[in-house]
């Protein structure tokens, strides 16, 4: 996962994929991990990964069970802050 982040994180942060595909939105990555303990380990690694720190606000994580139970409230960043979705207007 860290190798893939290194390869793509700058493009994601700059919004290049959105520009390429004509999507106007702030970049954000939602990662669903199959088991809760895998989510914990990934977050622990990312917390200690200094190259990730400037981009941490773009990434949110949840376990598969959390998504199944309440997809809208399942997402946390590496500092355990929740992601809130705006209601459509």
Cβ atoms of residues 76 and 82 within 8 Å: yes
- Which has more confidence, 43 or 21? 43
86 by DSSP, 3-state: which?
coil
- What is the model's pTM? 0.79
> Which pLDDT score is estimated for 88?
62
Residue ranges covered by each domain of the chain: 2-73
Confidence of residue 63 (pLDDT cuts 50, 70, 90): very high
Confidence of residue 20 (pLDDT cuts 50, 70, 90): confident
In the DSSP assignment, the letter for residue 79 is T
36 Rama sector, left if φ>0, alpha if ψ -120 to 50, beta otherwise: alpha
Average pLDDT over residues 44-51: 90
Q: What are the percentages of helix, strand and coil residues in the chain, rounded to 5?
A: 55, 15, 30
32 by DSSP, 3-state: which?
strand
């Amino acid at each position: 996962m860290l190798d893939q982040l290194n390869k793509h994180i700058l493009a994601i942060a700059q919004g290049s994929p959105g520009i390429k595909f004509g999507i106007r939105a702030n970049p954000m990555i939602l990662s669903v991990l199959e088991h809760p303990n895998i989510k914990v380990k990934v977050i622990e690694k990312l917390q200690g990964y200094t190259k990730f720190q400037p981009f941490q606000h773009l990434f949110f994580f949840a376990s598969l069970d959390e998504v199944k139970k309440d997809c809208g409230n399942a997402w946390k960043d590496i500092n355990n802050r929740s992601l809130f979705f705006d209601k459509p207007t």
